[in-house]
Structure 1
Amino acid sequence: MSIRTSIYAINALKRTSQFNCIKNIGNSRCLHSKPLRLAMWGEKFNQFKLQVEAEDSNDRALRELDITLLKPHPEWRNSAAGPIWPKDYHKLLWEKWENNLHYKQEKVEQDTDWEKYCEENGFSPQEYLETADFQTLYGERLIWENYVRNFKGGVQPQQTRSNCFRKGEMSTGSPCPLCRDEKIVVTYNNLPLLHHFIDKQTGHLYSNLRTGACRFKHRRLVKAFNMAKDFGYLAAEADFVKYDLTDHRVNYSAL
């Protein structure tokens, strides 16, 4: 039984009537002796301990290796005997987080866009970057290198457009690099396109202030970049851990 469960058991016993003052009817005096109270507490706790061990769901989860029996917030219990939440509480609490972590909904949407693109054009978005039309437009340059945004006044805006489309139609004369070419589709598995926006030195995405992509397409680009790393299409970053090698030394002064 865990320490937290033991504390709950002690608090539950303290609230019971056995710990009230015991009155001796014969001589009308209260027994406040500390050894007597400790003996009473020890006896009642040993009786209650067996009940707690048999009903505690966390101990049962460790024994059965069932993670659904674990309660992520033990302080939400009404007693040491178990939780007050329903059986599907683990699913209700963590299902939304798991869906967001693995991009299930976004993956379905991007896969649908990929299939629709292949049906309309006869080739995939990834194969478009290898066609002669793409080489004629961009050559060996990155698709955003020759982009110049038109703006009013003599001071360049400090952020890109929110979107290049309004009501489904192009609303600007200088759309961003991802909106001006209708055959470019941003998806997690369109790796040649993602490499146009990834810095080779750091492995991070270029800022949209440098590429000129509108904020709507840049958010989609960031999501596709994270999905590609999550699904294993791109190399994921690992934090460097510096170990203390003094704990693994072989030669000791006492030997």
Structure 2
Amino acid sequence: MDLLAAYAPWQLAAALAAAFGSAFVRGLTGFGMAILLVPILALALPPVEAVLLANFLSLFIGLSEVRRLVRGAERSAWRISLLVVLVTPLGLLALAATSDDLARFLIAMIALSAFFAILLPRRAGTEPGHLATGGVGVLSGLMTGYAGMPGPPVVPYYVGRAIPRETAKASMMLIFTIAAGAGLVSGAALGILAWRLPLLAALLFPAVFLGNWLGDRAAGQIGDALWRGVVGVILGGAALAALLRLL
């Protein structure tokens, strides 16, 4: 427990509340954990620690349901994930070279970008071409490293298409799980991974597991149209909250 002495009680309480709430949203929508979690954690912790802690939690919860994700994901999820793995170190290097205040501002802007992207017109269910898919993978990798948020490019790619909800959720969750692993490996390789973070993540994980389970149960009670509406509201709320906290 001495490893956690670096954190004040209010920081731990904020991390616990954010972990539970963001995991509920993940279970409900298939995304949102990092988008909600990182801006809040970055106000209580150094941004690099906030990003890496979110990566630990995303990896833990993703591994707990990886069989379902592999079965349900679209093939494009694997191509995007490969690019995420390759590009994530570049985003993490940029984060390590950025001041804390600027990093918090840019992380909030990334959350805001996801909201505007989801407002774009809904597209056909056919898989986009290699250029569009590759662009999503590169942007997602950069955002994984810099903000712990692979979601802003990935969510519109899947939710904005007329594909089954479960396919969209499984594809997004699989990418986010692999992205979290890539972020942690990059952080360790670059020497910026604080080894107290796995302990803190392990202490927070029961709240994440419970929140995700409750969110998944709630998702079974709503239709696709309402689900897509909830996605937009959550993205907008996360972006607005991040901006208000900066102000």
* Structure whose alpha-carbon radius of gyration is higher: 1
Give the structure with the higher percent helix.
2
Give the structure with the higher percent strand.
1
**RCO higher in 1 or 2 (8 Å CA, sep ≥ 6)?**
2
Same fold (TM over 0.5): no
TM-score (norm 1): 0.28
